[in-house]
Amino acid sequence: MRNPVGWAALTAFSLAFFAFIYAPLFVIIGYSFNSNPVNMMIWEHFTFDWYAGLLGLADRTTDVSNRAAYVESTGQMLAALRTSLTVAVITTTISTVLGTATAIALARYRFRLRGVYNGFLMLPMMMPDIVLGIGLLIFFVTIGMNLSMLTIIIGHCTFLASYVFIIVQARIAGIDPALEEASADLGASEWVTLRKVLLPQLAPGILGGALLAFVISMDDLVITYFVSGTGDTTLPVFIFGMIRRGVKPEINAIATLIILASVVIAALGLWLRSRKTD
């Protein structure tokens, strides 16, 4: 039988836990509609001006206090967004291919130092971002490679491939190898077995790893800060530069749009996964 006191305590703890996690997000969303351009903690009235300013839709004839005055250039923000999307798409593609191939190789083949190799794949996930960022910066400078979008992509792939590897490895552990053996017994080649048997079974894990890699790449600040060039600013680095001069309403608006994008990506992933499962 359930203990009423224990059940009530568990419910209260769960509510407090979710409130602790999500309350700051709701605060950001709420204050992104505050019309006060000086002190966002003092509510004046509801407005969409900050979103209009970020999208370049603000009325230039209105007073500067009612527009997105603290964004020096909407073009710079959109350029940073384009850089982040480009890096995230390329990084996700490379990391998904590398992580998936590595997970299949370690699960289906036996070779010397397999355990050591598996451990090294975990290392980028456990290493502090600042250590990895400094290490990558020193490496690029040592080999004489100019910091650019390419160095950002390389830096992101060094640790995002590990995330994809972990997710796909967990998925492949639950697949019966007898399915592949049966495919081989029926005369299918290794490539046909991979394409028609193994990959469809791994599709939910591959999709989950790809979406996770995309979100982390879009969100990464520390490593990107160290390995990005002057002309390749990503959106997190751009926001960091803005927030160093104070938390302005536009930052809340940008954060709200990022939250919305994350929710859409998560919902899309769950929808695609349910279709794959069905």
pLDDT tens per residue, range 142-165 = 999 998 899 999 999 999 999 999
Q: Which residue has the higher pLDDT, 17 or 204?
A: 17
- 60-64, 95-99, 245-249: which has the highest mean pLDDT? 95-99
Q: Which residue has the higher pLDDT, 224 or 179?
A: 224
User: What is the average pLDDT score of the chain?
Assistant: 81
**Res. 212 pLDDT band, cuts 50 70 90:** confident
* pLDDT computed for residue 256 by the predictor: 86
- Say yes or no to pLDDT of 25 above 80: yes
Q: Which residue has the higher pLDDT, 275 or 29?
A: 29
pLDDT tens per residue, range 52-95 = 777 666 554 444 444 444 455 667 777 888 899 999 999 999 99
* pLDDT computed for residue 67 by the predictor: 46
* pLDDT computed for residue 70 by the predictor: 47
* pLDDT computed for residue 63 by the predictor: 47
Average pLDDT of the residues in 180-203:
78
- Say yes or no to pLDDT of 122 above 90: no
Average pLDDT of the residues in 112-140:
86
- List of domains in the chain: 15-66 (no CATH), 74-244 (1.10.3720.10)
**Res. 276 pLDDT band, cuts 50 70 90:** low
Mention every residue, 6+ apart, whose C-beta is less than 8 A from residue 67.
49, 52, 53, 58, 59, 60
**Which of 7-11, 39-43, 69-73, 88-92 comes out lowest in average pLDDT?**
69-73
- Is 39 within 8 Å of 60 (Cβ atoms)? no
Q: Which residue has the higher pLDDT, 152 or 178?
A: 152
pTM of the model: 0.78
**Res. 120 pLDDT band, cuts 50 70 90:** confident
* pLDDT computed for residue 107 by the predictor: 81
Average pLDDT of the residues in 222-232:
88
Percent of the chain past pLDDT 90, that is, above it, reads: 21
* pLDDT computed for residue 65 by the predictor: 47
